[in-house]
Chain A
Amino acid sequence: MKVLVLTEQKLMEFLASARTAYDVRVPVSLHDGTRVIGRLGEGPLAIKGGAINQKITSIFFPHMETVLKCSNGGFESPEPAPKPMLVVGFTKQDADCLEFIDRFYNDKFRDDVYFNKRDNAVIVCVSGRCGANGKLLKVSGDNCDMELICDGQDYIVRAYTDVGKSLIEDIGSTEIVPEETLEQIEKESDQLCVEGLDLLNAASKLLLEDKVPDEFWQSISDRCIACTSCNLACPTCTCFDVFDRTNGCGIDRWRIWDSCQLDGFMREASGHNPMGQELIRTRRRIHHKLAADVTRWGHITCYQCGRCDNVCPTGIGIMSVCKEMVEKYG
């Protein structure tokens, strides 16, 4: 089978050339080995190693950003970026998350600040034999512009959209890879995540049927220190708070990631707080993605990326909580 295959060196060359038209972001290894999505050259390329720990959607919805500026009696939106982004490093689950928050930010009220960055951005997924400790990453399919499927060393390149195909054409040369290599990866990929999805579905059913008592949520919230990491790492958590800051000649309005695990998140000016108890906040974190969103969007909005389970210092990420819940009440 003739497909485009790139060595890491060739991939680097391709990404470097793409910088003419794009603001290229790739997985890099930082000073101490932490892997993040950064600018090409910010550190050694670090595509292999699995999903990036940081909130992957922070590329388009960063920790803190200006949403408007007020000076001389008028308002200004932030200037759009000079180039669209080309982002490498989304996993299949990450791309699913992105697809969801694209819909979320476009629903009813379109979030211009988000789409200033998101519009025309090229999403390049990474899959195959390049997960953490050599594990297989699920093949993405068509929920991205391009995909790099790692065979353990090199990358088989697939394009799904017009922009992706056009980029591939620019690369040119193709190589032959054994057909079974790709087939085997796809076959193994199809086996992945079923167990996790079954667990989420079972937990979702319990929540929708209201079969999980408060005592369960209390026992989970006893172990929650309100670090907020679950929300700040989750690619589908989209909540933010706003604040104003003077800048010498005017005022900037900023937004900053918020967390439903904070008491102040829904506290009213009167002091009344519909989420004023820890157990309610803990319940909401899980309930929102597995029950409320099912009602609103028709599906669960956790895509099993694993970030909240990785980042939670006390082991109560969504998968861990669902496991306990299903074991007890399922």
Chain B
Amino acid sequence: MKRTLTTCPYCGTGCMFYLLVDDKDTLVGIEPSSEHVTAKGQLCVKGWNAHHFVNHPDRLTTPLIRKNGILEEVGWDEALDLVVSKLKQAQSAGGKDSAMFVSSAKTTNEENYLMMKLARAVFKTNNIDHCARLCHSSTVIGLMETLGSGAMTNSIDCMEKADCIFVTGPNTTEQHPLIGTRIIENVTKNGAKLIVADNRKIRLARLADIHVRWKNGTDVPFLNSIMNVIIAEGLEDNEFISKRTENYEELKIVVADYPPEKAAEICGITAQEIVDVARMFAAAKRAMIVYSMGITQHTHGVDNVKCCANLAMLTGNVGSPGTGVNPLRGQNNVQGACDMGALPNVFSGYQKVTDPDVRKKFEKAWRVRNLPGEIVHTVTTAINAAAEGSLKAMYIMGENPMMSDPDQNHVREALEKLDFLVVQDIFPTITSDYADVILPATTYAEKDGTFTSTERRVQRVSKAIEPINQSRPDWQILCDIAALAGYEGMKYDSVSDIMDEIASVTPIYGGISYERIDMIGLQWPCPDRNHPGTKILHVDKFSRGLGKFSPARYRPSVEMPDEEYPFVLSTGRSYFHFHSGTMTRRSQLLDREQRFPYVEISPQDAAEHAIAPGSWMYVATRRGEVKVKANVTDVAKKGVLFMPFHYKEGPANLLTINALDPVANIPEYKVCAAKIRKAQ
């Protein structure tokens, strides 16, 4: 039996545990780390089962090339040669920006950095993005504009220090379980106030002092109205506002248009609920906002984020323990993938590609010329461009857009139209069904690297077993592709060397090295080798200098319920499964727990449609219809349906709408119009 300390591959909480390996190099268990700052000897159910999928017989183990419509096993050389030649061919025909590189929040920082480098330095395009586009792109933009940094302002241990926690949009006990438990502990043991603003009666709502079940998509009027009350009742922190912020007058003008009575009507709640929330939040010495997809996944996602930041600044709740604006990152390394510049507009460390000086710096470091300065595609617009025929090739590493992007039929049409699609993954997916080349990658357990958790903590991922069969770590595949494409600057002896390069070009990671994060991670910004890391951002001044109030006005969601489609459909994750299910559905206990696609429906709605608990039913939108099991529960509000997107046989994203936030291009996963019928 061998034990290897590593970081959990599921959510962004960043728990570390030991992988147990038997004498046959098979993963046979998990033991929590009792010393880890977040795990503290504890784990959630996914953490306890994070070893299970690794040795599953479905693993991709050999490179595959589609010949005459059939995938055939080939050697690595043949597969990689084809990838390079086809990508170059597509770019020759359609220009550099006719190829798209999709990086992955599941892979390591080093791999995201290399995918970004491959796209920019080798293939000379800024068409590099990843699934943060689908979850927190609105955070990155909204918090950058208001606070100057698009990350969680505080640390996980601050959850235990807040006097009031305002949870809006995450289901923490299911999606970031050990963060959720810190909230529960603070509420039940210390008597912290808890405000839950969520349409669903999530677990935290059972323990909340106030639970507001507003209409989906009315976040802006709700938050504006809270600020309206705070200002009207003189509960704002004037000293903080005058010393630390700018543009306050503009905020006052906008929120003045949202008195509680008016907002209550839009939100479908009472004015008193808004007043109660405002008073409770403003009265707390240390008040914290915790948000996630319920805020970000809207066509007004950036506006929602800015309103959260405005509320925190208005009450002086930024830059100290137990406060802050805390977006919870949903994947093990979605924070890191953003940090590494796997985004079209920035290099690593959020250094803008449009800045000529930044480009020069990277040209020098990478020993290349003419790095591109134009921003063309995000993940979501790339799919649109592929469907229109202007994007010719895609290289997808560790993502599954057929399951995770909105409007599956639209994605299918896009992938079918591509001249060339390469998918690099650990299991076959319904996205790889459309691939011309499939490259077998290793899981987290078979490689070294780092993940960055939601609290900006850069932590080690350590190899526990050898790569299974012919699978290879993503970073090695990327380096080989760069070399085959004629670039000499992506040759490394180890992943530690890659981190050293990242540190040399990325100021916020300047002090990170494998030696320093051997046992316990470091939180960025960590600018030099002597810096202890940063637990709380914006302590004395905001990353942008002054915090900027950026008020927003209400824009309704794109597709509201009507006579034909009377329900609101919202989508997300469940506790036992993760994203497109490739890992959790191959884990015995997790899959057993939730084996079938389902929809949460209120008891009233189910009764009105004669739908029995656990029976099959159909959910339809203007995009299609899906057969699911009825989970009849009071978690769901009357008129609102919730579906997880894990099931390929009942894909929620067949139903969702491809409507994007105009700034962040994030899809509106949380609101579209739906109808239901009983399955016969």
Q: Give residues in A with beta carbon < 8 Å to B.
A: 30-36, 38-39, 42, 53-54, 58, 62-65, 222-223, 225-229, 232, 241, 243, 245-247, 256, 258-259, 262-264, 271, 310-315
A222 touches B206 (CB 8 A): yes
A232 touches B206 (CB 8 A): no
**With known contacts A222-B207, A313-B178, A314-B185, A32–B519 Cβ distance under 8 A:** yes
Contacts of A258 in B (CB 8 A): 589
Task: Kindly state whether residue B253 has any CB partner on chain A within 8 Å.
Answer: no
Q: Which of B1, B174, B182 has the most chain A CB within a 10 Å cutoff?
A: B1
Contact of A264 among B29, B182, B592 (CB under 8 A): B592
**With known contacts A39-B1, A227-B45, A315-B185, A262–B589 Cβ distance under 8 A:** yes
Interface size on B, residues (CB 8 A): 50
Residue-wise interface mask of B (48-75) relative to A, using a CB-CB cutoff of 8 A (1 in contact, 0 not): 1001100111000000000000000000
Task: Kindly state whether residue B601 has any CB partner on chain A within 8 Å.
Answer: no
Q: For residue A15, give the distance in angstroms from its CB to the closest CB of chain B.
A: 17
Residue-wise interface mask of B (608-622) relative to A, using a CB-CB cutoff of 8 A (1 in contact, 0 not): 000000100000000
- What are 26 A-B contacts defined by CB distance under 8 Å? A33-B519, A34-B32, A34-B41, A35-B34, A53-B32, A63-B28, A63-B29, A63-B30, A64-B29, A64-B51, A223-B184, A225-B173, A227-B43, A228-B48, A229-B32, A229-B48, A241-B588, A243-B588, A245-B56, A256-B52, A262-B45, A262-B589, A264-B589, A264-B595, A271-B614, A315-B189
Q: Which A-chain residue is minimally distant from B36 (CB atoms)? A: A32
In the complex, the number of residue pairs spanning A and B with C-beta atoms less than 8 Å apart equals 124
A226 touches B575 (CB 8 A): yes
Contacts of B551 in A (CB 8 A): none
Task: Kindly state whether residue B180 has any CB partner on chain A within 8 Å.
Answer: yes
Task: Kindly state whether residue B476 has any CB partner on chain A within 8 Å.
Answer: no
B42 touches A229 (CB 8 A): yes
**With known contacts A38-B3, A64-B29, A223–B589 Cβ distance under 8 A:** no
- Chain B contact residues: helix, strand, loop or mixed: mixed
A30 touches B3 (CB 8 A): yes
Q: Which B-chain residue is minimally distant from A43 (CB atoms)? A: B3
Q: For residue A277, give the distance in angstroms from its CB to the closest CB of chain B.
A: 11
Task: Kindly state whether residue B44 has any CB partner on chain A within 8 Å.
Answer: yes
A227 touches B52 (CB 8 A): no
Bound-state CA distance A30–B173 (Å) is 29
Q: Which B-chain residue is minimally distant from A261 (CB atoms)? A: B45
Contact of A313 among B36, B177, B203 (CB under 8 A): B177
Q: Which of A64, A245, A259, A263 has the most chain B CB within a 10 Å cutoff?
A: A64
Bound-state CA distance A271–B595 (Å) is 11
Bound-state CA distance A328–B174 (Å) is 30
Bound-state CA distance A38–B178 (Å) is 27
Q: Which B-chain residue is minimally distant from A262 (CB atoms)? A: B593
Bound-state CA distance A312–B589 (Å) is 19
**With known contacts A38-B1, A229-B42, A311-B32, A222–B203 Cβ distance under 8 A:** yes
Residue-wise interface mask of B (586-615) relative to A, using a CB-CB cutoff of 8 A (1 in contact, 0 not): 001100110100000000000000000010
Q: Which A-chain residue is minimally distant from B595 (CB atoms)? A: A264
B48 touches A227 (CB 8 A): yes
B34 touches A34 (CB 8 A): yes
Contact of B35 among A34, A222, A232, A263 (CB under 8 A): A34
Q: For residue B27, give the distance in angstroms from its CB to the closest CB of chain A.
A: 8
Query: Which residues from 144 to 180 on chain B have a C-beta closer than 8 Å to any C-beta of chain A?
Result: 173-174, 177-178, 180
**With known contacts A32-B5, A264-B589, A311-B41, A54–B57 Cβ distance under 8 A:** no
Bound-state CA distance A229–B30 (Å) is 11
A232 touches B588 (CB 8 A): no
Contacts of A42 in B (CB 8 A): 3
Bound-state CA distance A35–B32 (Å) is 10
Q: Apart from A65-B28, A241-B592, A314-B184, what are 8 other A-B pairs with CB-CB below 8 Å?
A: A36-B31, A42-B3, A64-B51, A229-B43, A245-B57, A313-B42, A314-B185, A314-B188
Bound-state CA distance A77–B188 (Å) is 49
Contacts of B504 in A (CB 8 A): none
Task: Kindly state whether residue B537 has any CB partner on chain A within 8 Å.
Answer: no
Bound-state CA distance A284–B40 (Å) is 26
A227 touches B42 (CB 8 A): yes
Residue-wise interface mask of B (1-41) relative to A, using a CB-CB cutoff of 8 A (1 in contact, 0 not): 10101000000000010101000000011111111100001
Contacts of A54 in B (CB 8 A): 31
Task: Kindly state whether residue B270 has any CB partner on chain A within 8 Å.
Answer: no
Q: Which A-chain residue is minimally distant from B30 (CB atoms)? A: A63
Residue-wise interface mask of B (171-201) relative to A, using a CB-CB cutoff of 8 A (1 in contact, 0 not): 0011001101110110011000000000000
Bound-state CA distance A68–B232 (Å) is 71
Bound-state CA distance A226–B137 (Å) is 31
Contacts of B33 in A (CB 8 A): 30, 32, 34
Q: Which A-chain residue is minimally distant from B588 (CB atoms)? A: A243
Bound-state CA distance A108–B432 (Å) is 50
Bound-state CA distance A310–B188 (Å) is 17
Task: Kindly state whether residue B520 has any CB partner on chain A within 8 Å.
Answer: yes
A31 touches B57 (CB 8 A): no
Contact of A311 among B36, B42, B174, B592 (CB under 8 A): B42
Contacts of A32 in B (CB 8 A): 5, 16, 33, 35-36, 519-520
Q: Which of A39, A227, A263, A311 has the most chain B CB within a 10 Å cutoff?
A: A227
Bound-state CA distance A53–B31 (Å) is 9
Q: Which A-chain residue is minimally distant from B206 (CB atoms)? A: A222
Contacts of B519 in A (CB 8 A): 31-33
Bound-state CA distance A245–B28 (Å) is 13
Residue-wise interface mask of B (563-601) relative to A, using a CB-CB cutoff of 8 A (1 in contact, 0 not): 000000000000100000000000011001101000000
Q: Which of A32, A310, A314 has the most chain B CB within a 10 Å cutoff?
A: A314
A241 touches B589 (CB 8 A): yes
Q: For residue A227, give the distance in angstroms from its CB to the closest CB of chain B.
A: 5
Bound-state CA distance A35–B182 (Å) is 24
Q: Which of B30, B31, B57 has the most chain A CB within a 10 Å cutoff?
A: B31
B5 touches A314 (CB 8 A): no
Q: Which A-chain residue is minimally distant from B591 (CB atoms)? A: A264
Contacts of A271 in B (CB 8 A): 614
A53 touches B41 (CB 8 A): yes
Contacts of B44 in A (CB 8 A): 225, 227
